[in-house]
A and B are shown apart, each in its own frame.
Chain A
Amino acid sequence: MAEVRLENVRKEFGGVVAVEDVSLTVADREFLTLVGPSGCGKSTTLRMICGLERMSGGQVYFDDEPVAHLPANKRDVAMVFQSYALYPHKTVAQNLGFALRNLRVPKAEIATRVDEVAASLGIEKLLERKPKELSGGQRQRVALGRAVIRDAGAYLLDEPLSNLDAQLRGDMRAELKRLHADLRRTFIYVTHDQVEAMTMSDRIAVMKDGLVQQCASPEEIYARPANLFVASFMGSPPMNFLSGEVQRDGERLLFRHDGVTVELPEQAGPAVNELAGCEAVLGIRPEDVRLAGEGGVPGQVFVAELLGADVLVTVRLGEELVKARVPAPYDGRVNEGVSVVLAPEKVHLFDPSDGRAVLAARAASVLDRGESL
């Protein structure tokens, strides 16, 4: 059991900065996900936590104990690798028990633990097989079992689901979350898939260019993205963005983009006031865009895609395409006129000069309605 704390962690590979400056605290028993596009430094950060990568600067603490000087085999961590990295010459049972053998756990106890873990992961019939005789999903479970069989301070998972097909990935996602709940241990999970991050984590750290852009609960990240990057990266389908200008109209603040005018909430805060007369980017999630017969901004249906319970309708507003997620059935036809309503309490506003959010949706569906910014 351990709290993992990163302080100004930095990594350069021969002059190329992979991780610029990361400070994070992963609470004991927390499920924290590092998410970001490829090359954002998330895997490198994870490898520095487990000691497979030497840090160029900064410090990592396990329960206030600095560990930067310790090699991977002296740190109290277990890891699941993206490629599974099962030992091809060992049976499943030997793979599972390998770390315990290295820790000089008595043989009888290893056997018991192997049986327990295999049973809990549903691989008890595979114990005598070699990795090459297993399917992808089975290998994944063995890789997982090899980590959780140990009593480690922190469990590190590096894109463990990315080699599975979609169906299996969904199942394993739920299983992993359940496993975390049962084990009650610190999990640090790396993925480029924002759905995985969203569904499993207690907290998400969104990374880009070797920096943490925002670290918060999934609800918070979804409802109040700290900047344009987080807003665009998290959420599927992604948030709509419109570039325009903030204008003062008497007491009111308006956002204008071609024919689109949105009146910004009254208590929008000083940051928005400062943007008056400047360019701004308005963001709104597809599920917060309403389609009506009239009363909103007129546009034409560009395409409608059925998602199941919902329909994702893409509407052309002048030069821009705006996506709206509306309940099925939707009977609008291509090129049909439609009115788009952008509710002021649902919009985000970003400062395009640095991408930072100056206004977050005040009534995001995932947050309590009364909660204020």
Chain B
Amino acid sequence: MTKKVVLYVLAIGFALYLVVPFYWIVNMSFMHEADAASVPPHFLPDNPTADNYVSFVNPSAKEALVGSNAVADTPFAVLNSLVVAFSTAVVNLVLGTFAAYSFSRLQFRGSQVLLIVYLLTRMVPGIAIIIPFYLVMRTLDLLDTYGALILSYTTFALPITIWILKDYFRTIPLELEDAARVDRCGWFRMMWTVFLPISAPGLVAAAIFSFMTAWNEFMFALFMTSTIASQTIPVIAANFATDVETQVTMMAAAGVLAVVPPLVLVLICQRLIVQGMAAGSVKG
């Protein structure tokens, strides 16, 4: 009994730990700047306002207070983030699928070593390689473009993507591939009509992982970008804290905007993951 109570307390505590900060940021995004700092804090906005959100579309009113272009840039930064994260996810899935299929289905010399080496690349801290990355991107003339970010994030996410997909692909019965071959599918058709649809939960997990890697990344984005042509939302969100003033409610509103795309993505894909489509395919 006591054990159960403790478990519940811990579970609720952990849920609060995850949910409260998010609730607080949503709450603040609908407040006036003055209310946000009040003591005791308001758990619901006294005078709810959508001004913060409106100013993203119509920035002139508050722009001066913030002291930078952060407000005006936010919608574009979200768009940049979307393009970069989506592209990273797609490039990762395509490359990761080919690589992971090879690792899961083909036996070749050194495959295990290669997998470990892929993972080892993730053990190097970003700060150690950011200068070479910067120089390479400059040589390629990619600085301040989506390309620099997509390329960088793909190198971060690809090793893990390969590991996720490789493990998932190994759970797919070989006989399903055999059946498709006998049912007159060439390799690409077999992949497209049988293997990949069955792998959907794994593919979605890998896609979300690489999307979030790109979406959250700050340091590389800060180095590689210089204008709103490619600056992503983490970079712009940081701009809300300036030497002149920090606008917490605006920052909160920008934060909420930054949460919406990945949230929608997860909600859409959750259905795919839950379907658990591989069940019942063989034996049973």
> Which A residues form the contact surface with B (CB < 8 A)?
47, 50-52, 71-73, 77-79, 81-89, 98-99, 102-103, 130-134, 136, 139, 146, 163
Q: Which of A84, A102, A139 contacts B183 (CB under 8 A)?
A: A102
Greatest chain A CB density within 10 A among B182, B185, B186 is at B182
A87 pairs with B176, CB closer than 8 A: yes
B184 A103 Cβ-Cβ under 8 A? yes
Using known A-B contacts A88-B277, A89-B197, determine if residue A83 contacts B282 with beta carbons closer than 8 Å.
yes
Closest-CB distance, B195 to chain A (whole angstroms):
10
Q: Contact at A87–B281, with CB atoms within 8 Å? A: yes
Q: Which residues of A contact B185 (CB under 8 A)?
A: 73, 102
B283 adjacent to A83 (CB under 8 Å): yes
- State the CA gap A362–B198 with chains docked (Å): 58
Chain B: CB-nearest residue to A76: B184
Given contacts A99-B184, A102-B185, A103-B184, contact A136 B179 (CB under 8 A): no
| Most B C-beta atoms less than 10 A away, residue of A77, A89, A134 | A89
Assuming the contacts A87-B198, A88-B198, asked whether A81 and B175 have C-beta atoms less than 8 A apart, the reply is: yes
Q: Is B42 an interface residue (CB 8 A)?
A: no
B122 within 8 A of A: no
Q: Which residue of B lies closest to A136 (CB)?
A: B284
Apart from the given pairs A52-B181, A87-B194, 8 other A-B contacts in the complex at a CB distance below 8 Å:
A47-B178, A85-B178, A88-B281, A98-B180, A99-B184, A103-B184, A132-B279, A136-B284
Nearest A-chain residue to B181, judged by Cβ: A72
B281: contacting residue among A50, A82, A85, A98, CB under 8 A: A85
Which A residues are in CB contact (< 8 Å) with B282? 83-86
B41 contacts A by Cβ under 8 Å = no
A79:B284 contact, CB within 8 angstroms: no
Q: Are B284 and A78 neighbours in the complex by a CB distance under 8 Å?
A: no
Q: Which of A88, A130, A133, A139 has the most CB of B within 10 A?
A: A88
Nearest Cβ in chain A — how far from B33, in angstroms?
Answer: 52
Taking CB atoms and an 8 Å cut-off, the chain B residues in 32-52 that contact chain A are none
C-alpha gap A51/B186 in the complex (Å): 13
The residue from B182, B194, B284 contacting A77, defined by CB atoms under 8 A apart = B182
B283 in contact with A87 (CB, 8 Å): no
Bound-complex Cα distance A52 to B279 (A): 24
Q: How far is the CA of A131 from the CA of B181 in the complex (A)?
A: 19
Using a CB-CB cutoff of 8 Å, which residues 174-221 of chain B contact chain A?
175-176, 178-186, 189, 193-194, 197-198, 200
Which B residues lie at the A interface, using CB under 8 A? 173, 175-176, 178-186, 189, 193-194, 197-198, 200, 277-284
How far, in angstroms, from A50 to B284 measured CA to CA in the complex? Answer: 26
Distance, CA A83 to CA B284, complexed state (A): 9
Say whether A86 contacts B281, CB under 8 Å: yes
| Complex: chain B residue closest to A50, CB-CB | B182
**A-B contact count, CB below 8 Å?**
83
Chain A residue contacts of B277, Cβ below 8 A = 88-89
Minimal beta-carbon separation of B165 from chain A (angstroms): 17
Chain B residues near A163: list those with CB within 8 A: 283
**B173 and A98 contact, CB distance less than 8 A:** no
- Complex CA–CA separation, A86 to B181 (angstroms): 13
Contacts of B183 in A (CB 8 A): 73, 98-99, 102, 146
- Asked if A83 contacts B173 (CB within 8 A), the reply is yes
Complex Cα–Cα for A124 and B175 (A): 25
A-B contact pairs, 7 of them (CB 8 A): A71-B181, A72-B181, A73-B185, A77-B182, A87-B180, A132-B280, A132-B284
Q: How far is the CA of A199 from the CA of B181 in the complex (A)?
A: 30
Q: Measured between alpha carbons, how far is A77 from B175 in the docked complex, in Å?
A: 16
What are the 7 closest A-B residue pairs judged by CB atoms, nearest first? A132-B280, A88-B281, A83-B282, A99-B183, A85-B175, A85-B179, A102-B184
Beta-carbon nearest neighbor of A143 in chain B: B179
In whole angstroms, what is the CA distance A131 to B282 when docked?
9
**Cα(A85)–Cα(B284), bound, Å:** 11
Most-contacted residue by chain B among A78, A85, A132, A136 (CB, 10 A): A85
Chain B residues contacting A82 (CB-CB under 8 Å) are 175
* Selected contact of A139 from candidates B181, B184, B193, B284, CB within 8 Å: B284
Which residue of B is nearest A102, CB measured? Answer: B184
In the complex, A52 Cα to B175 Cα: how many Å? 10
Whether the pair B283, A73 counts as a contact (CB closer than 8 A) is no
B182: shortest Cβ distance to chain A, in Å? 4
Distance in Å: Cβ of B53 to nearest Cβ of chain A: 41
Q: Report which of B178, B278, B281 forms a contact with A72, defined as CB distance below 8 A.
A: B178
Do A73 and B198 contact each other (CB < 8 Å), given the known contacts A85-B179, A139-B284?
A: no
Asked if residues B179 and A81 are in contact (CB atoms below 8 Å), the reply is yes
Closest CB in chain A relative to B199 CB, distance in Å: 10
Contact A88 B182 (CB under 8 A): no
Q: A83-B175, A87-B194 are in contact. Are A72 and B182 (CB under 8 A)?
A: yes
State whether B181 touches A73 (Cβ < 8 A): yes
C-alpha gap A88/B197 in the complex (Å): 9
Determine the residue in chain A with the shortest Cβ distance to B278: A88
Shortest C-beta distance, A152 to chain B (Å), equals: 9
B281: nearest residue on chain A (CB-CB)?
A88
The smallest C-beta distance from A105 to any residue of chain B, in angstroms, reads 11
Report Cα–Cα, A89/B278, bound state, in Å: 8
Complex Cα–Cα for A73 and B178 (A):
9
Contact residues in A for B194 (Cβ distance below 8 Å): 87
The closest CB in chain B to the CB of A135 belongs to B284
B280 and A52 contacting across the interface, CB-CB below 8 Å = no
- CB contacts (< 8 Å) of B173 on chain A: these are 83, 85
Q: What residues of chain B lie closer than 8 Å to A103, measured between beta carbons?
A: 184
Residues of A near B198 (CB, < 8 A) are: 87-89
State which of A47, A73, A79, A139 has its C-beta within 8 Å of the C-beta of B186: A73
- Complex-state Cα separation, A87 to B176, whole angstroms: 7
A83 to B279, CA, bound (A): 13
- What's the nearest-Cβ distance from chain A to residue B78, in Å? 34
CA A77 to CA B185, docked complex, whole Å: 13
- Tell me the smallest distance from the CB of A172 to a CB of chain B, in Å: 16
Chain B residue nearest to A99 in the complex (CB): B183
